[in-house]
Chain A
Amino acid sequence: MSQTGLLSIDSVTMRFGGLAAVSEVSVHVDKGELIGLIGPNGAGKTTLFNLMTGVYTPSEGFVSFDGNSLNGRKPFEIVGSGMARTFQNIRLFKALTALENVKIAANIHRQASLFDVVLRTPRLLKLDAEIDAFSRDLLAQLDLADVADVRASDLPYGLQRRLEIARALATEPQLLLLDEPAAGMNPQEKAQLMGLIRQIRERFSLTILLIEHDMKLVMGICERIYVLEYGKLIAEGKPEEIQKNPKVIAAYLGEETE
């Protein structure tokens, strides 16, 4: 393993009942990389995300992040150690405003005790001011400052996706997991999204792992790609290698391999 390794998934298997949704998958992500995870529907991509973020515990194998094993750790602990995610089907806090959505995530590194909250001690007031400034700044960086006080459910779809990314960034992650960020977007929005991903990657010096169906987007920005099919890893490599890989072509077009 190289020294810059950030995330390593070591032959992980996840079974639901008798069905193996993910079997013996190994993924390795170095610091600063932008990696794509592709595969047909039901290939186990989101399951893999859930394994990384602690929603599920792997039946077999290990996930380690930044040198620490993640097995058996709760999602909220894993977020604290620097891995944040977005969801395939947007899961914002719908009745709350954009700013409040971000503030909740920003809480993670600025915790106060209930005692502080109830008595509104100077410590709490300072933390609250800090969270407020941090969250507004983050919204501004993602061009969401204008909608800070709009309820999340009232935002247009594209902005909801963007807000989800902002919310994940508010946890100040090293590794950002994006689950189909372009789902349901038109080509123009997709182009914008590509720009956004590049931009936040640089500004926050992020490592990014994204699941995506849109080949143009994946091939356009990812440096390395992993391909899953039926829960198994069938290919790994640079975009141009993946494009030529017969197994991948078969998986997507349903052709015979030989």
Chain B
Amino acid sequence: MRWLLGRIGVVVLTCAILLVANRLIIDNIKEYYVSVLVLCGLYATLAVSLNLINGITGQFSIGHAGFYAVGAYVGGAWTMLIRPLVVKSLPILQTGTQIGDHLNLFIALVLGTVCAGLTGLLVGLPSLRLRGDYLAIVTLGFGEVIRIVILNMDVVGGPRGFTPITELVNNHGIPLVWIFGLLVVVVAFSRNLLKSAQGLKFLAVREDEIAADAMGVNTTRVKVTAFVIGSAFAGAAGVLYAHCQTGITPDSFDMNTSIIITTMVVLGGTGSISGSLLAGIALTALPELLRNDFIKEYRMVIFSTLLVVFMLTRPQGIFGHREIALPRFLRRLGRKGEPNP
């Protein structure tokens, strides 16, 4: 049981660091920068989760915003539509208290994640029959279908959008802790997967599906697993997004969003967890922080030009399949300092 205690220790430590960091951030940093931080965390989560599907397993999904939307709307529906019905018999769910807010968000997260995961299962099934560009188009189509379905659902406001809970928006600290908690989880998940010999199965499917099959890898299960988990994480990000905005509309989850996430994965280096993480943060933060009218106005043109230029000059992305690890970086620096024998 020592390992279990160890794992619990890591979790507790992470939570503690997050809570302390959160306090420091909320007290010392302007609200605008907090909102940038929120977006960075969300997009980094989305990029790392898409990397599970696109980079590590080699399937090509460009409809990630669809799962993000499912999470956002399911989470929002819990808080705004279902919770008010339940709260009478369970007063602990009353918002405004620390416990109530956290518990609420937790339930919304569970629901949103599960629903997005199930949607991922639905979308993952075509991946069993389709490859490469055709699969990409189908996922794009699914993403759009999800958006159109939401657009036609009056319960959640249709095209006017949906106004999720406002109490949490005022209480900025809460989403921030959860967002970075989620980011830690998705990164740890991907890293542990690749660190184990078991996770190599996912890479095998990316490299050569037929050979993987012939070497005893259950490719069907691997692909569906990747889709379900990747989209579940995107759903979780969606729940958190819905709870730190004053409102969400189906337009927040259109094709452009999907393509921005894809760009992050591609630029970061398909398959590189750290690459996706950094690209997710950088590509969200830079346009916000540079505060340059030109960059704001031409943001999408710059994104797309970057995408094309990268595809032509360095299709494997900035980091390729590699990970940037601090120890190795330091070692390399050290080696450079030594004289050559």
Contact = CB atoms under 8 A, between A and B. Distances in A.
B7 A91 contact: no
Interface stretch (A4-12, A28-36, A120-128, A213-221): A120-128
A85 interface: yes
Contact of B213 (A75, A93, A94): A75
Nearest to A135: B197
Given A76-B218, A79-B216, A100 B193 contact: no
Interface string A65-97: 000000000111001100011010001111110
Contact of A111 (B198, B219, B225): B198
A131 B215 contact: no
Contacts of B195: 120
A104 B204 CA distance: 7
B102 interface: no
A106 B216 CA distance: 9
B208 A93 contact: yes
B80 to A, nearest CB: 32
Secondary structure call for the B interface: helix
A119 interface: yes
Contacts of A111: 198
B8 to A, nearest CB: 11
B214 A79 contact: yes
Nearest to A171: B216
B282 to A, nearest CB: 25
B52 to A, nearest CB: 12
A117 interface: yes
Interface residues of B, number: 29
A105 B192 contact: no
A91 B211 contact: yes
A127 to B, nearest CB: 7
B216 A117 contact: no
Contacts, number: 107
A93 B3 contact: no
B200 A76 contact: no
A114 interface: yes
Given A76-B219, A105-B216, A107-B197, A117 B211 contact: no
B118 interface: no
Interface in A8-67: 53, 55
B215 A119 contact: no
A93 B214 CA distance: 12
Looking at chain A, what size class is its interface with the partner chain?
Answer: 35 or more
B64 interface: no
Contacts of A124: 196, 198
Given A76-B217, A105-B216, A107-B217, A122 B3 contact: yes
B217 A104 contact: yes
Nearest to A114: B225
Contacts of A117: 192-193, 196, 198-199
Contacts of B217: 76, 104, 107-108
Contacts of A80: 216
Interface centre among B203, B204, B225 (most CB of A within 10 A): B204
Contacts of A168: 215
Contact of B200 (A94, A103, A127): A103
B201 A104 contact: yes
A160 B204 CA distance: 16
Interface of B: 3, 7, 188-189, 192-193, 195-201, 203-204, 207-208, 210-219, 225, 321
Given A55-B213, A79-B215, 18 more contacts: A74-B218, A75-B214, A79-B214, A85-B214, A91-B210, A92-B211, A93-B208, A93-B212, A94-B208, A96-B203, A96-B204, A104-B197, A105-B215, A108-B216, A108-B217, A120-B7, A121-B3, A128-B196
27 contacts: A55-B210, A74-B213, A76-B215, A80-B216, A84-B215, A91-B211, A91-B214, A93-B211, A94-B208, A96-B200, A96-B203, A107-B198, A107-B200, A107-B201, A116-B198, A117-B199, A118-B188, A118-B189, A119-B7, A120-B7, A120-B192, A120-B195, A120-B196, A121-B3, A122-B3, A124-B198, A128-B197
